[in-house]
Amino acid sequence: MNVNQQPHMASPYGQPQPGYQGYPQSGYGGQHVPGGYPAPYAPYNGPASAYQPGPPQGMRGPPTSGAPPVSAAQAYSQFGQGDIQNGPPPLGAPPQRSVFSYTGPPMQQPPVSQPSSFHSGPPPPPTSAAGFPPQGGGPPMSQANHVAPPQPGMLAGPPVPGMAGPPPQPGMQGYPPQQNGAFGQVRGPQPGYAGPYPGQQSYGAAPPAQAPAPPAPKRLDPDSIPSPQASDIPPVQKTRHRIDPDAIPSPIQVIEDDKANKGSEPFVTGVRGQAPPLVTTNFHVKDQGNASPRFIRCTAYNIPCTSDMAKQSQVPLAAVIKPLATLPPDENSPYIVDHGESGPIRCNRCKAYMCPYMQFIEGGRRFQCGFCSCVTEVPPHYFQHLDHTGKRVDCYDRPELSLGSYEFLATVDYCKNNKIPQPPAFIFLIDVSYNAVKNGMVRIVCQELKTLLDYLPRENPDVQSNIRVGFATYNKVLHFYNVKASLAQPQMMVVSDVADMFVPLLDGFLVNVSESRVVIESLLDQIPDMFADTRETETVFGPVIQAGLEALKAADCAGKLFVFHTSLPIAEAPGKLKNREDKKLVGTDKEKSLFQPQVSFYANLAKECVAQGCCVDLFLFPNQYVDVATLGVVPTSTGGSVYKYTYFQAQSDQERFLNDLRKDIQKKVGFDAVMRVRTSTGIRATDFFGSFYMSNTTDVELAGLDCDKTVTVEFRHDDKLSEETGALMQCAVLYTSCSGQRRLRIHNMAVNCCAQLADLYRNCETDTIINFFAKYAYRCVLNNPTKNVRDSLVNQCAQILACYRKNCASPSSAGQLILPECMKLLPVYLNCVLKSDVLHPGADVSLDDRAYLRQLVSAMDVAESHVFFYPRLLPCDTLPVAIRDSEERLSKGGIYLLETGLNLFLWVGANAQQELLQNIFGTPAFGQIDSNMTSLPILDNPYSKRVREIVESFRAQRSRYMKLMVVKQEDKLELIFKHFLVEDKNNSGGASYVDFLCHMHKEIRQLLS
């Protein structure tokens, strides 16, 4: 009830509009405040007051009836600029349009370098000819395109015919009636989409399109007249670029605008319905009642009131939740709240935990649940008086009444079998077969563990970790080690009957590091020597995990297994595998089988592991196919991680492996976790993506949950939502901390509900939508041909954009592509997902790599998926401003860094200035640069220092260590590097950004006609 807001709000909005009550921030309605949010947000800097159910009263006028007064139109016009989430226009910019608009040539002629990509498109309408001279790609075009330099929010297209004056406010055109039927019922099979782009190499079947395309399937719309086949087009046109890449939405521009507009002010979470800064922007968060975007990011912050609207828009409604995310040092970790012996206060009916959305009534004696409206008695020990606004007077003293994220101490009722948990254990299981010894892995692991055991996770850095440790080695048989403190030397016990695994010693296997340090060190010293001369090449794998699981069972605790493994487990044992690598299946309907586990053994084992709270982290060192799809089942079902070091060589790869191992062992982790997402009436969590196990439809079970793991949750309507109350979600994660304490971490999130589609499109987050789409698609490949998965992604995005065009944008010629401001990068990013190695592999991508990437992406947060799909490319001389991922942006005279979150390249142009080379590599000669180097020489000059600092800062931001690869122009390695220049056409037939955008435009037009 923040009365301060009222005068603010009254003016920009004119009449209160039912659709707009959720927009407390006048910054979107009225004048922009340069440099961020200060004025509009000032009222929120104080104690939060906005999280009582519904937005503050001050923002809600009395409902009005009758036609909106004239001033409403005015209000909408101003509000239209709200489309531009990036803040104020630069000085001197032309009036902002909230849409990207370009008069695309695609309809005119097969437009760009790959005419075949568009062969099924309709013939060009003549109307847009003005913008695109039919002849001579280059000069006239680029001239036209450069008339207006790209502006934030208005990526300069060529001058748009018929849009000379100040553009109308697209998106504001009176909100046509909904339910127009044009896009209804869009989910599910589309009659026209059985094979939308037959024979099309870029989006459809993987390989080439020279074969005559089958006749285009009949579409519902009359526009679908096949255009000329590739062979009909004069060759000269095939190589002509007709769209200036500078005229289409630039990821870099969007990223830089967001940094400039949102990076300087803290993001306060108390304002419902507000999209946070992008993941690429550095910003500070103030928790004022909703979870920080570091914990939860949503695809949409205004969700449609009805499921019909949601279906019509096709915008996925999902949240990417990272429950144990690490916060920057200047932000507080969630406070721990203790409600005493009776445990956390909860709603009687839906069991939601006490949070800012509970409304206290009857003088504070009862509270009404924001999720299910049930009224619950306040226990006497929790009673508190209310102030004159109805708020408890202790509201700001209690995290659970004023913050979006906090933890409760759980009572014994929340513990497995109603027993306080034992401290967890870490068990190290090391492959000691021939390959493991020969490539140096065994020696490196044993050496490193001696130090790492001092860095086991602990909550208080001054206290020793109470995590116990155990050790085993294996090839075809298993060796357990007794490292009891009282022993003079470790003892080995061999179990050769791997068919029915058991742990041969109970006392002395799991020990406290500080007590058994001498024995452990002795063991780790001896292991490499004991197996130095092994000839054993065969390994088992299933029994290894079973052994660790049995040990945890025997100790009655949760924990983590660290398995260091080299080869396909072909030795006779449960979980034995065959080599089933068959590249001929790629691109066929049977391709999906390659992503599925080859035996069901591991899924069953995973279930047992989850029941015990046994999380598995797998470090792979393969020299050939190991069947990651199958070996990864247990790690990805238990909240674990898979790391892969193909052709591991101690010298060049140990730095990466050791850094990963150090990070993995030390990172914050919880055990035996169960996550439940509760929602307010009308919406429901229906689907979950990530590394976990589910035994019912609501509980996400994670044997282990670390600070890097995310769970993506999809929501669907089950009733109509109210604009008044918005939609609420509460994510509760019950887990055992690394010190053995049982806790509940709570994250609350409220979003607006909207009756107008325009509000949905104004408050979306494309990076999160892409995270969701990637996870969704990567799961779909398990059961569908990849081509179908790609097609349905393209289809859904076309529907999203067509719905916007139809319902929110101003009428304009069909030759224009109009994109919502918040989604103008959807095409470029979607193309990156479509071209990714999982959905569209090149010939050189192994099946293991694809399975590995599929598993990795499934647990990524938004920042990681963003850089994974659209790598960061930085010129070393103009650090730190990135450039677009295209070869034409590279200068032969320059040096560039490229990172993907997994890979890090330093590309050196053949004509790089001698001075630059000297400064960075210590040699002026291009020819003398050693492309095998994995770290840069430490030279005493600002350039060297700067580049090394940037490399280090990239590494620090990622959960996995990135090995530096130096790529010299024209070198063999350049091919790998170019694969990451994702705006370009790639070798495996993936479309360029320009081509894909044209294709998307065509799809949208077909949906609209």
Span of 82-90, 288-296, 348-356, 477-485 interacting with Zn ion by CB under 5 A:
348-356
Q: Is the peptide bond before 880 cis (omega within 30 degrees of 0)?
A: yes
Cβ of residue 374: shortest distance to Zn ion, in angstroms? 5
Query: What is the nearest approach in angstroms of Zn ion to the Cβ of residue 729?
Result: 13
Window of 344-352, 603-611, 784-792, 895-903 that interacts with Zn ion by CB under 5 A: 344-352
523 vs 746, beta carbon nearer Zn ion = 746
Among 147, 374, 420, 506, the residue binding Zn ion under the rule CB under 5 A is 374
Nearer to Zn ion, 352 or 839 (CB): 352
Single out the segment in contact with Zn ion by CB under 5 A; choices: 367-375, 415-423, 894-902, 988-996: 367-375
Q: How far is CA 554 from the centre of its chain?
A: 38
Task: Return the number of the residue (194 or 374) whose C-beta is nearest Zn ion.
Answer: 374
CA distances (Å), origin 979, targets 226, 848, 896, 973:
31, 18, 15, 10
Closest to Zn ion by CB, 347 or 510: 347
Among residues 772, 930, 752, 944, the alpha carbon closest in space to that of 301 is found at: 752
Q: Is 386 exposed, middle or buried (0-12, 13-18, 19+ CB in 10 A)?
A: middle
How far from chain centre, in Å, is Cα 590? 28
Residue 606, SS3 per DSSP: helix
Task: Read off the DSSP letter of residue 511.
Answer: B
Choosing from 84, 317, 347, 833, the residue that interacts with Zn ion (CB under 5 A) is 347
CB 298 within 8 A of CB 760: no
Nearest to 477 by CA among 431, 522, 446: 431
**Shortest Cβ 345–Zn ion spacing (Å):** 12
Q: Quick one: 216 or 369, whose CB is closer to Zn ion?
A: 369
Longest dimension (CA), the chain: 90
369 binds Zn ion (CB under 5 A): yes
Contacts 24+ apart (CB under 8 A), 109-112: 109/134, 109/237, 109/242, 110/227, 110/228, 110/233, 110/237, 111/242, 111/243, 111/995, 111/998, 112/240, 112/241, 112/242, 112/243, 112/992, 112/994, 112/995, 112/998
Stretch that binds Zn ion, among 273-281, 341-349, 574-582, 737-745 (CB under 5 A): 341-349
**Interface residue with Zn ion, options 1, 93, 260, 372 (CB under 5 A):** 372
CB of 368 to Zn ion, least distance (A): 9
Of the pair 370, 909, the CB lying nearest Zn ion is at 370
Residues 872-931 that bind Zn ion (CB under 5 A): none
Cβ 650 to Zn ion shortest distance, Å? 57
Structure tokens at 951: 């490399």
Q: Which residue has the tokens 């960075």?
A: 920
Exposure letters 6-20 (e unless 16+ CB within 10 A, then b): eebbeebbbebbebb
Q: Which is nearer to Zn ion, 497 or 724 (CB)?
A: 724
Segment near Zn ion (CB under 5 A), from 352-360, 635-643, 983-991, 999-1007? 352-360
User: Does 371 interact with Zn ion (rule: CB under 5 A)?
Assistant: yes
For β-strands 816-820 and 99-103, DSSP reports them as: antiparallel
When the beta carbons of 349 and 892 are compared against Zn ion, the nearer one is 349
Nearer to Zn ion, 118 or 371 (CB): 371
Query: Smaller CB distance to Zn ion: residue 349 or 945?
Result: 349
Q: Provide, rounded to whole angstroms, the least separation between the CB of residue 998 and Zn ion.
A: 50
Choose one: 35-43, 214-222, 237-245, 374-382; the region binding Zn ion (CB under 5 A): 374-382
What is the smallest separation between the CB atom of 667 and Zn ion, expressed in angstroms? 34
Q: Which is nearer to Zn ion, 378 or 964 (CB)?
A: 378
Q: Which stretch, 154-162, 171-179, 363-371, 887-895, contacts Zn ion (CB under 5 A)? A: 363-371
Please state, in angstroms and rounded to a whole number, the distance separating the CA atoms of residues 378 and 827: 51
The minimum distance between CB 318 and Zn ion, in angstroms, equals: 23
Query: Whole-angstrom Cα distance, residue 17 to residue 73?
Result: 11
Site string for Zn ion, 32-71 (x = CB under 5 A): ----------------------------------------
Per the listing, tokens 């013939």 go with 123
**Which span (38-46, 366-374, 787-795, 893-901) binds Zn ion, by CB under 5 A?**
366-374
CB under 8 A, 24+ apart: contacts of 216-223: 216/120, 217/192, 218/192, 219/192, 219/1006, 220/191, 220/192, 221/192, 221/1006, 221/1007, 221/1009, 222/1009, 223/122, 223/1005, 223/1006, 223/1009
What is the nearest approach in angstroms of Zn ion to the Cβ of residue 747? 17
Rounded to whole angstroms, the Cα distance separating 757 from 668 reads: 41
Cα–Cα separations (whole angstroms), residue 112 to 100, 105, 127: 20, 9, 19
Stretch that binds Zn ion, among 37-45, 212-220, 361-369, 854-862 (CB under 5 A): 361-369
- Is the CB of 350 or the CB of 554 nearer to Zn ion? 350
Q: What is the DSSP letter of 430?
A: E
In angstroms, what is the minimal distance from the CB of 264 to Zn ion?
A: 39
**Token digits of residue 313:** 């828009």
CA distance 81 to 48: 27
List 1, 233, 350, 603, residue binding Zn ion (CB under 5 A): 350
Cα-based torsion angle of the residue sequence 679, 682, 688, 693 in order, rounded to the nearest 10 degrees: 60
Q: Annotate 63-76 with DSSP letters as a single string.
A: P--SSPPHHHHHHH
Name the one range near Zn ion by CB under 5 A: 191-199, 347-355, 357-365, 493-501.
347-355
User: Closest by alpha carbon to 706, among 549, 859, 544?
Assistant: 859
Closest contact distance (angstroms) between CB of 366 and Zn ion is: 13
- C-beta neighbour count of 331 within 10 angstroms: 14
* Subset of 119-148 contacting Zn ion (CB under 5 A): none
Least distance to Zn ion from the beta carbon of 356, Å? 14
Q: Which residue, 347 or 839, has its beta carbon nearer to Zn ion? A: 347
Minimum distance of Zn ion from residue 23's CB (angstroms)? 27
Dihedral sign from CA coordinates of 383, 388, 390, 392: negative
CB of 489 to Zn ion, least distance (A): 60
- Cβ–Cβ < 8 Å for 167, 81: no
Q: Could you give the string, one character per residue 288-327, with x where binding to Zn ion holds by CB under 5 A and - elsewhere? A: ----------------------------------------
Give how many residues touch Zn ion by CB under 5 A.
8
Specify the residue, 301 or 371, whose C-beta has the smaller distance to Zn ion: 371
What pairing do the DSSP bridges indicate for beta strands 700-706 and 669-679?
antiparallel
State which residue, 678 or 884, has the beta carbon closest to Zn ion: 678
Residue ranges in contact with Zn ion by CB under 5 A = 347, 349-350, 352, 369, 371-372, 374
